[in-house]
Chains A and B, each alone.
Chain A
Amino acid sequence: MREAQQITATRYSELDQIDRDNVSHLRLVFSFRSGQRGAQGAAPLVVGSRLYLLTSFPHTLFALDLTSPQPKVSWQFTPQSDPIAAGLACCDRTAHGPVFDKGRLYFSTLDGHVIAVDSDTGRMLWDVAVANPHQGETLTSPPTVSGGRLVIGNAGDNFGTRGWVVALDAATGRELWRHYTTGPDRDVGITQGFAPFEASDRGPDLGSRSWPAGAWQHGGGSVSGPSLYDSELELLLHNTGPPAPWNPEQRAGANRWTSGVFARDPQTGAARWFTPLHPHNVYSWVNGTANIAVDRPWSGVNRKLLLHADADGLLYVLDRGSGEILAADPLLSPEDARQASQDDPSQTPRSGVQVRDICPAWVGAIGGDPALAASTGILFVPITRLCMDIEARPASYIEGTPFMGANVRVHAEPGKERGGLVGWDLGRRKAAWRIDERFPVASDALATAGELVFYGTLDGVIKAVDAGTGKLLWQWRTATGIMGQPTTYRGPDGRQYVAVVAGATGPYGLASQYWIDRRDATAALGLAQSIADLPAPTDPSGTLYVFGLP
């Protein structure tokens, strides 16, 4: 269980049975075809001798018994779902869990429910609706468990929702607190104890005063990615998404508290600090990537750090206690790191004017969640290299419909590969190695103590590379694109296995669907043409693949 939690937090596993020398012998042990088109991005969870697998929406939770050589389904659970949510999942990486705590499994659903089931029998314990899909709200991240509480935030920037984060009692599902990311201080949870690092963030009701009249009510700032619980400092850390609508002319001002990082008290949700990353974000750079907490020496002093790989292609290193930005280094090489600046009026989206070659595109430079090998201090970050042409248009808020106000086309930078993996040395503050990939890398990275990094590509190849040099050591082609989290576990027989669920999810998953016509450059928010050469999957069903040594 500690393994599972650690992997969730840092995507690093202590298991080292599979290492650089024997990984080339890795072979498929079994596969499990869920029969459901696509997949969700969270890793399958292994607790004891069971593997828990949650499918894409509409969800089914499978419990596979790993003791038999060809694992069989011990139980499966399908909650009731509201099909309207299928039309709302556009832009955020969808991952729903499950997470395990004290004999129970907790997971979120796309249509806004958090559900608790018994891990032995699959019996539902409680089912609480926290988000309203009829208003455009969905859930796209797994709940974070801490101290008997579940914390989760909503998604739905593109539908003009207001971002919020909610805490539920793990035993009963009762709502303990809910705080928003825009609006007056009492909605946001800003009290006397709020101490942001920058003085400009101190002041009453900045969450409404940095917007034109009423614009904060549909201001976005969603908490679409997972929250991070810091048990040492008793802090809950979460990102806030970009402001709504995309058209910046309709939301003058700094648009607090969007496009930043919040630290809250886990018991009451009161805000401790906020660090803005992109005030008045004009490019709608998403902010759903998971953060990593690590204690390391920084400039000679041991500090509690928060690593935030941001959509603008920079790795932000923050002090977890105060929110101070200690560093913001570009992950991409200098030739690649063209970054659009919103201080430049010729690069600011305006109504009726096309602004070209904004890099990175709205989908951001970070493809999946990074993994940290704390002992060596190397951070493995999946990246994308895409640029966009954007034209702002006036946007109308109509409940349940998109609230965007932009036409956008996404394309690759000429002559450059669209994706890659970066091995970033935290101590030296530069890349130890970089790998280029033909397609954007949408899967998360997994680092192991066997000096390996696992990740998957959009055309369905799972790869293992050497953590020190980036050299490819093993790969295997699956039937469909890999856009989720690979994981590794010790099976009931004591041997190490690597598991990954292949299947389309998230914005690249959407862009590769059969109902998209790629002749329209704006299809799938511009992404469809950027991956037009992605081959159709052999089998679009979400399928679990488990690999092991012979």
Chain B
Amino acid sequence: MKPGRTSLLLLALTLCACQREERQFRLDPPISASLQAVASMPDGISGAPPDTYRVLGKPYASNAYNLSQGKQLYTWFNCNGCHANGGGETGPAFLDGWWRYGPDIISIFVSIRDGRPRGMPAFRDRLTTEQIWQLAGYVQTIGAYSAKTAAPARDDAMQSRPAENRAPAKSSFASDQWPYPPQ
């Protein structure tokens, strides 16, 4: 091939890669209504997400924009007052990958939406369903067992712990000593 055509081909290939992920700011109303239809177990631990969640490609745990929005919501709604930056305070830590109600995103969603008995307030009337999903996805990322491709935005506030996309919880399970007393 002549050099001119090679460079044209390369240029065309480069431009194809410029298509960025679509950001949907406004979910269609039937979809956003269906995202509320989480089928959780009676004790609020684990359960099944709505079908639309799967069809959308599990966006709240794997999309950088949603994770970043979740991170913003985390400080806006005072989560770091009881959970610090994932290290815990009166509320449990997320960083260590130990989840009182299981690591499933449904459990986290139900915890935020309905609250939990020992002091977790219910945010059902303070956040929209989509915001709760974004928060749940971000919280799960803090204690993820393996690094995700998508990462939330960097810390603009005081940096106090390993970044979320370095999967800090992985190290808790790497050692053979189980650090926590039996419950």
CB-CB contacts of A295-312 with B at 8 A, as 1s and 0s?
000000000000000000
Q: Does A87 contact B (CB under 8 A)?
A: yes
* A87 touches which of B85, B91, B160 (Cβ 8 Å): B91
Q: In whole angstroms, what is the CA distance A406 to B157 when docked? A: 10
Contact of A520 with B93 in the complex, beta carbons under 8 Å: yes
Residues of B within 8 A of A90 (CB): 82, 89-90
Query: In the assembly, what is the distance between CA of A402 and CA of B121, in Å?
Result: 11
A396, A520, A522 — most chain B CB neighbours (10 Å)? A520
- A518–B75 Cα gap in the complex (Å)? 20
Cross-interface CB contact of B78 among A83, A401, A514, A520, cutoff 8 Å? A401
Would you call A407 and B89 a contact (CB within 8 A)?
no
A510 CA to B96 CA in the complex, in Å? 17
Contact in complex: A87, B120 (CB < 8 Å):
yes
CB distance from A26 to the nearest CB of B (A): 31
Nearest to B157 among chain A residues (CB) is A407
A29 within 8 A of B: no
Interface residues on B, range: 35 or more
Complex: how many Å from CA A409 to CA B81? 13
Min CB distance A523 to B, Å, is 3
What sequence of 0s and 1s flags, for each residue 142-183 of chain B, a beta carbon within 8 Å of any chain A beta carbon? 000000000000001110111000001000000000011100
Given contacts A86-B119, A409-B158, A517-B96, contact A402 B84 (CB under 8 A): no
- Which A residues from 507 to 537 make CB contacts under 8 A with B? 510, 513-525, 528
Find out whether the CB atom of A402 lies under 8 angstroms from the CB atom of B93.
Answer: no
Within 8 A of A (CB), among B77-136: 77-78, 80-82, 84-93, 95-96, 98, 117-121, 126
Are B119 and A85 within 8 A (Cβ)? Answer: yes
Distance between A284 CB and nearest chain B CB, rounded to angstroms:
13
Q: Are B88 and A402 in contact (CB under 8 A)?
A: no
Whether B25 is near chain A, meaning CB under 8 Å from some CB there, is no
Known: A407-B158, A407-B160. A520 touches B118 (CB 8 A): no
Give CA–CA (A129, B179) in the complex, Å.
Answer: 39
Contact of A396 among B77, B82, B85, B88 (CB under 8 A): B77
Question: Does the CB pair A519–B95 fall under 8 Å?
Answer: yes
Tell me if B161 and A89 are in contact (CB < 8 A). Answer: no
- A86-B160 in contact (CB<8A): no
Point out the residue from A85, A87, A395 that lies within 8 Å of B82, measured CB to CB.
A87
- Residues of chain A lying within 8 A (CB to CB) of residue B126: 398
Whether A466 sits at the interface, judged by CB under 8 Å, is no
Asked whether A391 and B158 contact (CB < 8 A) given A401-B78, A515-B93, A517-B95, the answer is yes
Is B87 within 8 A of A523, CB to CB? yes
Contact digits for A402-437, partner B, Cβ 8 Å, 1 yes 0 no: 111001010000000000000000000000000000
Chain A residue contacts of B86, Cβ below 8 A: 517, 520
B157: chain A residues within 8 A (beta carbon): 352, 391, 393, 407
Contact with A along B6-46 (1 / 0, CB 8 A): 00000000000000000000000000000000000000000
Size bracket, chain A contacts = 35 or more
Complex-state Cα separation, A158 to B84, whole angstroms: 13
Cα A342 to Cα B93 in complex, Å, equals: 33
A522–B78 Cα gap in the complex (Å)? Answer: 14
Q: Is A185 located at the chain interface by the 8 A CB criterion?
A: no
Minimal beta-carbon separation of A38 from chain B (angstroms)? 13
Closest Cβ neighbor of A402 among chain B residues: B81
In the assembled complex, the CB of A396 is this many whole angstroms from the nearest CB of chain B, namely 6
Q: Is the CB of B118 within 8 A of A517?
A: no
Q: Are B160 and A521 in contact (CB under 8 A)?
A: yes
- The residues of B that contact A515 with a CB separation of less than 8 Å are 88, 92-93, 98
Q: Shortest CB–CB separation between residue B169 and chain A, in angstroms?
A: 9
Q: Is the CB of A404 within 8 A of B119?
A: no
Q: How far is the CA of A540 from the CA of B95 in the complex (A)?
A: 23
Closest chain A residue, CB of each to CB of B119: A87
Residue from B75, B84, B89 with most neighbouring chain A CB atoms (10 Å): B89
Known: A516-B88, A517-B87, A520-B93. A84 touches B81 (CB 8 A): no
Measured CB to CB, the residues of B under 8 A from A are 75-78, 80-82, 84-93, 95-96, 98, 117-121, 126, 156-158, 160-162, 168, 179-181
Given contacts A85-B119, A407-B160, could you give 12 more A-B pairs where the C-beta distance is less than 8 Å? A87-B91, A90-B89, A352-B157, A398-B77, A401-B81, A403-B81, A517-B86, A518-B87, A521-B158, A522-B87, A523-B89, A524-B87
Query: Which residues does A use to contact B, with CB under 8 Å?
Result: 83-90, 158, 352, 354, 389, 391, 393, 395-396, 398, 400-404, 407, 409, 510, 513-525, 528, 540
